[in-house]
Structure 1
Amino acid sequence: MLGMDSIWTRQRPAASARETLSREQIVKTTMELLDTEGLAGLSMRKLAARLDSGATSLYWHVQTKDDLIDLVVDEAYGEVDVPDAELAGWRAGALLFAHSLRAVVLRHGWLPEVIYLRPSVGPNAISMGGRGLKLFAAAGFTGRDIDYAMSAVLSFVLGTANSQAAWEASVRRSGRSLEQMNSEILAGVDQITAAEPMMHESIQRRRVVSMDQLQNESFAFGLDSLLDGLEKRLSPDR
């Protein structure tokens, strides 16, 4: 992946004296476009129109649509809060890191579509990764176990957040609310699960809480369980 051409591996061109458009403006406007219209709504032509800029000026900063993706993904990583392990402690820090990353993915629903397609080697991604690794080193992990511990947490967070973001995008396209869609699905599977008592009881439990509460509690349960397991690995008598 690191051999792939990336805006981060190319030398940034010197700014022209006549150039009024900045990379920061491009990133901000691209994020706004993606947040409102999704990945399908992103094009160099549409972006240039939003920036009230000619294509030539835009291509001075970004050569391709992939360049835009590299920039905005790294901008999103810059929104993730990773506290200092010495101040927060490793477990509280890992909890904040995980919840912050989840919030960023849910805030930018287009991220799941692109987050695995391009190498994350921008400055914010590198900084986030370095600070995250320090949390797991502070916990007592050493060598490759530091990488594996952080990878386990990232995989859990991105897996759950990506699936939730994809589901919420599907709901928005349907024109119905999250609660409406959930109620319809639960009603539809009621009879189907009647022959399987445990599944039927599970469906009934889902009726008494809001979808937001269910997703938040499920995420917190899974994350706590994962961190419990990581702590157990550090115990000398495990």
Structure 2
Amino acid sequence: MPRDTLTKEQIVETAIELLDEEGLDGLNMRSLGKRLGSAATAVYWHVQSKDNLILLVGDRVWEEIGLPDPDAVGWRAAATELATGLHAMFSRHPWLVQAFGSHLFYGVSKARYDECSLAVYEAGGFTGAAADRAAGVVFTFVLGSVLGVAAQASLTRRLSRDGGDASAAFQETLDKAADIARQFPRLRSRVETPRPGDYATAPADTFEFGLQALLDGLERRLPG
């Protein structure tokens, strides 16, 4: 695809597809250009650099998060919806979690999300710096909650690139971790007798429990 017919929109959408499949390490202008049927130089002409492209795709995926109206549904429901949407977006694009360690993200879509987040906590009664802290601590909780998803995706890709059986290698890793866990009584009981509600059997339930516990704590800090 020649430079004058290639668009930034096409580049960003294709880059997201590549990142979802190959992860952050798999993104380079040559492979992206190949997917687009274009030369790498044409891609550079539109996005300037790989770092700038990562900022563009990072901002684009923020558009996937629905922005609730706290006046319509209440601040707790809005906060839950916003955090759950963020968690789902990170889970769909685990490369973004990895990129947070090396990039400072900004853009219109992320700013729109941040604006909504502050509006949600202000609707709940938080003001000034307290609203910033409430929004920030929930964001940090969500980001930490998807680290396991991002690590599993990265490990699976790496094992696949090495030419081995990713599923078998991953299971071998879990088995080794379980052998170590059996040396400790509390961990051994969970390895040998998994129970409904354990993180290993229901990570989504653990996320929901943690989010509501966090919002409970924030709510108790409201004046009155």
Answer yes or no: same fold by TM over 0.5.
yes
Question: TM-score band (shorter)?
Answer: 0.7 to 0.9
Structure 2: state its 5+ residue gaps.
160-165
Which of 107, 130, 137 is the aligned partner of 1:145?
130
2:51 maps to which residue? Answer: 66
1:15 maps to which residue? Answer: none
User: Whole-Å Cα distance in 2 between the matches of residues 234 and 42 of structure 1?
Assistant: 45
1:76 maps to which residue? Answer: 61
2:99 maps to which residue? Answer: 114
Q: Is the 8 A contact 2:194 2:201 kept in 1?
A: no
1:176 maps to which residue? Answer: 167
Q: Pick closer, same or farther for the CA change 1:84–1:59 going to 2, 3 Å.
A: same
Within 5 Å, give how 1:1-238 maps onto structure 2: 19-171=4-156, 173-174=158-159, 175-176=166-167, 180=171, 184-185=175-176, 187-189=178-180, 191-193=182-184, 197-204=185-192, 206=194, 213-236=201-224
Structure 1: state its 5+ residue gaps.
1-17
Superimposed CA distance per residue, residues 127-180 of structure 1 (whole angstroms, 9 cap, x where no aligned partner): 011011100000000011010000010000001112332134324545117994
Q: Percent identity?
A: 40
Q: Residue type of the partner of 1:216?
A: A
Q: Pick closer, same or farther for the CA change 1:221–1:47 going to 2, 3 Å.
A: same
User: Whole-Å Cα distance in 2 between the matches of residues 89 and 182 of structure 1?
Assistant: 44
Q: Residue type of the partner of 1:221?
A: F
Over aligned residues, Cα RMSD in angstroms? 2.5
User: Whole-Å Cα distance in 1 between the matches of residues 121 and 189 of structure 2?
Assistant: 39
TM (norm. structure 1) is: 0.81
Aligned residues: 216
Give the structure with the higher percent helix: 2
User: Whole-Å Cα distance in 1 between the matches of residues 147 and 43 of structure 2?
Assistant: 30
Q: Residue type of the partner of 1:184?
A: D
